[in-house]
Amino acid sequence: MTDIDHTDFDEVLSRFEHWRQLAAQFGAKPYDAPDFEDGRLNFRVDYADQVAKWPAAREQGDWGALIIESTTGGLFNVVQSLWHERAPKRQESLEAVFSRAEDAGKYVISRVANGIRVRVGLDSLAITWEEEGLGNEVTRSVPTDQDLTEFAMRNPRLTFDKLREFPAKYRLVAQPEICAIALNRIEPYMHILTLTFDQLDALLEGGLPPTRGT
C-alpha cells in the first residue's frame, strides 16, 4: 500500500458531500466528512458522534466504513471496515480493486446513495442492475494470479485456486485498460465502470422525494 494522492479524489469528495447532506436530510445515520488518515481515504458512518462521547470508540466502536487505499501497483482498493457482532476485534475485508481512482470513488458513492434510496422506499439500484445484467459494455472473466495479488495478501490461508471462486475481473469493452477485480456479490455495481459522475448521480437521484431548499 502507498499513500493516497489527495488530488485523485477531488471530484469524488465533491460528489460525496452532496450525498452526505442527503443522508442527513432523509434521516440516515450520519456520514462523517471523508478524511485522509494513515495514507488512506476513509468514508465513515456514525463515527464522529461515537468518538466524541467515548474516545475509545476510535478503535472499539461499532461504526462502519468504506476505505480507499492505493496499491504499490497503482491500483485502488476499496475495503470495508466493520466490527461484527460477537467478533473479538474490528475486521477489514477487501471488496474490489479498481484501475482508476474515480471508479473506486463511484463505487463508494453508489453504495451510500443506494442505502438512501432503500431507506426512503425506492427500488434498490443494485437490484435493478442485477436484473439487467452487465450488458455489452462490460466483460466478465476469471482473474489471473496477478489480478488476485491484493486479495491474496489479505487471505494468506487461501490458495489462488480457491480465491478465484470469489472475485471476478471486469473490463470495459471499449477501453479494456479500465477494469476492476471485485467480489461476485457486488457484480451489479460494476455498471459504474460505464458511467460518468453525472450519469451516476442522475440514476441514483431518480425518484428521490424533494428535500429542503428544492
Q: What is the pLDDT along the chain (214 residues), one digit of tens a residue?
A: 778 888 999 999 999 999 999 999 988 877 899 999 999 999 998 888 888 888 887 877 888 899 999 999 999 999 999 876 666 778 899 999 999 999 999 999 999 999 999 999 999 999 999 999 999 999 999 999 999 999 999 999 899 999 999 999 999 999 999 999 999 999 999 999 999 999 999 999 999 988 755 4
User: Helices 125-132 and 101-119 sit at what angle, rounded to 10 degrees?
Assistant: 110
207 alpha-carbon distance from chain centroid = 22
pLDDT at residue number 213: 52
Q: Which residues contact 18 (CB under 8 A, 6 or more apart)?
A: 201
Contact in structure between 179 and 170 (CB atoms under 8 Å): yes
From residue 95, how far is each of 14, 16, 23, 38 by CA, in Å?
A: 23, 19, 23, 20
Q: So what's the pLDDT on residue 152?
A: 95
C-beta of residue 108 within 8 angstroms of C-beta of residue 12: yes
pLDDT for the residue numbered 55: 87
**H-type helices in the chain, by residue range?**
10-25, 48-53, 57-60, 101-119, 125-132, 149-154, 160-163, 197-205
